[in-house]
A = this chain, B = another copy of it.
Amino acid sequence: MKQQKSEELESIKLAIREAGLRATPARIATLKLLYGATSPLTHSEVADELQDLGVDKATVFRNLNDMATAGLLRRTELGDRVWRFELVSKGGEHGSAHPHFVCVDCGTVSCMDEIKLTAGSMRLSQEFGEITEILLRGHCNDCG
């Protein structure tokens, strides 16, 4: 058990270093947090969690942005003027880019897999450019 945690810690440290960054406590805690998340987290969600560790919000911002630039995280804005970050893990379920659904009522964010445009739409979209991200908004089932 303890051995497990130690291994996890080491693998997180390694990932950070392989991205060209230093494995600081704040960064390790951030990745641990995102590792256990089922949807992208906002800066304030991460900052709240790391406050116990005495990490400043500016540091959280810088780390999230730096790790996104380094390719460890993916950063998106889902229409509510707040940045959200999620893990870019090769093996993970949400490793690669995928559509998101945002409830315009309660703000809940869901990661969607398997959502695609029609072949015709794909063709038409080339007229505009190369699509890299799909965002769907609407009313979630809880909000009716």
Contact = CB atoms under 8 A, between A and B. Distances in A.
Interface string A65-94: 000000000001111110000000000000
A39 to B, nearest CB: 11
Interface residues of A, number: 36
A115 B133 CA distance: 14
Contact of A118 (B112, B116, B127, B128): B116
A130 interface: yes
Interface in A88-144: 101, 103-104, 110, 112, 114-118, 120-121, 124-125, 127-141, 143
Contacts of A101: 125, 128-129, 131
A128 B144 CA distance: 11
Contacts of A133: 104, 136-138
A135 B137 CA distance: 8
A130 B139 contact: yes
Given A76-B79, A136-B133, A121 B114 contact: yes
Interface of A: 76-81, 101, 103-104, 110, 112, 114-118, 120-121, 124-125, 127-141, 143
Q: Which 6 A-B pairs have the closest CB atoms?
A: A129-B140, A133-B137, A131-B138, A81-B81, A135-B135, A132-B138
